[in-house]
Amino acid sequence: MIGQLKFRGASILQKTLIIIFQIMLISYAILIFYPLLNMIISSFKTSREIFKTPYAMPEKWLFSNYVEVWGEGGFGRYFFNSIYVTGISIGIVLLLGSMAAFGICRYDYKLSTFIYLAFLAGIMLPLKAAIIPLFMLVRNLGLMDNPLALILIFTAMSMPSTVFILTGFMKTIPHDLEDSGRIDGANEWMVYRQIIMPLTAPSIALVTIYNAVPVWNDFFFPLVFIQSNKLKTLPLGMSVFFGQYQISWHLLFASLSIAILPMLILYLFLSKYFIKGMTAGALK
Amino acid sequence: MKKTKHQSLWITFFVLPGLLIVLVFIVAPLFMSMYNSMFSWKSIARDQFVGMENFHKIFNQYPYKDRFFNAMGNNIQWFLSTMLIQNSLGILFGYLLYKKIAGSAVYQRVFFIPVLFSIVAVGFLWSLYMNPNMGIINRFLKDVGLQSWTRAWLGDEALATPSIIAVNIWRWVGFPTLVFYAGFNAVPEEVVEASYLDGIGEGRLFTHIMIPLIMPSIMVITVLTLIGSLNVFEQIYTMAGLEGGPYYSTDTLGTLFYRTAFGAVDSGLPEVGIGSAIAVVIYVLTFFFSALSIISFKGKEVEL
């Protein structure tokens, strides 16, 4: 490609600039990595060691910190609650969102633009600001302290971007395919299920990643709707844990590692898709 | 294909469930907030219609007025510093990645890592690091002989907001970097090539050609930064507490709104009318500024 920054053959001025830029980039990379590395290392130490030798490796690697946080700290339960709520929400979003996208863009009718805009209205709305009516709605439905409240709200929260991205993708699929399916006697559900959905698979992956991250990490809605300890999700459970264990720094670091490591590991495997998904989603 | 009654039923079947969820959980609450903001409340039951009085209180009456403008000021500080520091870094990093500077694939991935973490975890992690006595930041400053630079990062009224914003920038830089990287890549190669043939320097290519051409990305980032700044909540909650401590110095519309709505702090009682009015202000600001930035950037897009 034209105009690549190559060190070799550059003028002195350009070389100086490249070195300055590299120093900036490397510093920033360290600024990102070091705190995470320090967090993981500290999570294997005793509190005393964390203060005495903050930069050193642990004298003895204490896996017991993790055992304690996972069991007594309740992180095992919070972790599975998060998986449960995120999994079901994203499952419903993918089903209803792809059905809606299909219904909006594969048929020719006047209302379709209006319906599309109704879905899109949610993209810019700060849902947190609607918490008072949501709170009353959930209370009237008798869903306080019930994971179903979270599932419904997370579904709603993810629906606009899902419909947006999937509609954009489905538009590009040629109509001939489904028409030939109809001639062969397929009904509309079969057209959706057996012709359009398999072709939409790549953008389904994108939508899953794009929506699962904010849902998995959400703190605000569990804070409002969940009271009992056994139903808390990971971010909410962590905040309770932090209030109770302010002195036990080794446990705090272990709990942070449990909260952050799954995403880090997932990212190491899927970084290509994460990056692609985030750019595509943000640019449209 | 001609639409039949049979097909209308199918369309309804496909669209309705999703639409219902959005209408019930996003659109209706928006209108309910507006309605609620015009009532006085007894605990969590609507009492009397009071029109604009709740809004009047926010803007004119102690203590609402002081809290509101203080929080608003912090939100503005969030927006400005994010635009200035985070998004400028994002443009620079995005451009360097686009230029394929050595190691760009690694940088791209590393910078994006913290974006995936929960704000709560990031907030707690840094509040441990920023602890005045035991945190690693002050410890490091002491160890390298900068004893006089050590601070109570989150305990000092003047420093608390900048410290929290710095953590937030740490978390987010990878996002604008990626968006701008994609934006630069979308610039047609012929344009760049032609500019080089005309003998344009690297600096002028960046400021006169590339920046105007990525205006759509800049607009997207501006709007997202705006919405993000108006919605700051978790960062404050985890690093400074619900009161936006110390002494409301880190308070934002988000924390103020939550306190007012659920009565966690100030008076101990929920003030739903005032809270709804604050929510409506947040809505209006979001819409107004989003629309404004979309319109003002519209003329600056370069047609190709």
The complex scores an ipTM of 0.89
Q: By the CB < 8 Å criterion, does B110 face chain A?
A: yes
Local confidence band at A81 (pLDDT 50, 70, 90 cut-offs): very high
| Percent of chain B with pLDDT strictly greater than 90 | 62
What is the overall mean pLDDT for chain B? Answer: 90
Please name the residue that has the structure tokens 């130490």.
A45
Proportion of chain A in helix, strand, coil states, percent, rounded to 5: 75, 0, 25
Binding-face residues of B in 240-279 toward A, CB within 8 A: 254, 257-258, 261-262, 272, 275-276, 279
Q: By the CB < 8 Å criterion, does A281 face chain B?
A: no
Alpha-carbon distances of B283 from A122, A187, B180, rounded to whole Å: 12, 43, 27
pLDDT score of A197 = 93
Provide the Cα torsion B97, A283, B30, B74; round to 10°. 20
Q: By the CB < 8 Å criterion, does B170 face chain A?
A: yes
State yes or no: pLDDT of B3 exceeds 90: no
Q: Residue B264 and residue B242: Cα distance in Å, rounded?
A: 8
Q: Residue B262 and residue B285: Cα distance in Å, rounded?
A: 22
pLDDT tens-digit series, residues B268-284: 678 899 999 999 999 99
Q: Residue A134 and residue B283: Cα distance in Å, rounded?
A: 15
pLDDT tens-digit series, residues A157-194: 999 999 998 998 898 888 888 888 989 888 999 999 99
pLDDT tens-digit series, residues B115-172: 989 999 999 999 999 999 889 999 999 999 999 999 999 999 999 999 999 999 999 9
Proportion of chain B in helix, strand, coil states, percent, rounded to 5: 70, 5, 25
B123 closest CA partner among A25, A126, A220: A220
Q: Which of B1, B118, B213, B281 to mutate to test the interface with A (most CBs of A within 10 A)?
A: B118
Chain A residue numbers with beta carbons less than 8 Å from the beta carbon of B91 are none
Selecting from A103, A256, A271 the residue whose C-beta is nearest the C-beta of B109 gives A271
pLDDT tens-digit series, residues A226-277: 999 999 999 999 998 988 888 899 999 999 999 998 888 888 888 877 777 6
B173 closest CA partner among B301, B49, B105, B85: B85
Please name the residue that has the structure tokens 């954009």.
A168
Instruction: State the nearest Cα–Cα gap between B232 and chain A, in angstroms.
Output: 10
- Region B178-200: mean pLDDT is 88
Give me the count of residues in chain A. Answer: 284
Which chain B residue is nearest to residue A3, measuring alpha carbons?
A: B99
- Region B49-63: mean pLDDT is 92
Amino acid identity, position A212:
A
Q: By the CB < 8 Å criterion, does B230 face chain A?
A: yes
Q: By the CB < 8 Å criterion, does A104 face chain B?
A: yes
- Region B59-85: mean pLDDT is 94
State yes or no: pLDDT of A2 exceeds 70: no
B97 closest CA partner among A154, A22, A249: A22
User: Sign of the C-alpha dihedral, residues A171, A177, A183, A186?
Assistant: negative
State yes or no: pLDDT of A141 exceeds 90: yes
Report CB contact under 8 Å: B26, A188.
no
List helix spans (H) across B113-156: 119-129, 136-143
- Region B103-108: mean pLDDT is 90
Predicted TM-score of the model (pTM): 0.90
Selecting from B12, B33, B107 the residue whose C-beta is nearest the C-beta of A29 gives B107
State yes or no: pLDDT of B293 exceeds 90: no
pLDDT score of B300 = 60
Q: Residue A35 and residue A51: Cα distance in Å, rounded?
A: 15
Which chain B residue is nearest to residue A163, measuring alpha carbons?
A: B18
**Beta bridge mates, A46:** none
CA A234-A240-A241 angle, 5° bins: 80
Instruction: State the nearest Cα–Cα gap between A261 and chain B, in angstroms.
Output: 9
The whole-angstrom distance between residue B116's C-alpha and the CA centroid of its chain comes to: 15
Q: By the CB < 8 Å criterion, does A134 face chain B?
A: yes
A49: Cα within 13 Å, side-chain hemisphere: 18
Chain B residue numbers with beta carbons less than 8 Å from the beta carbon of A219 are 118-120, 234, 237
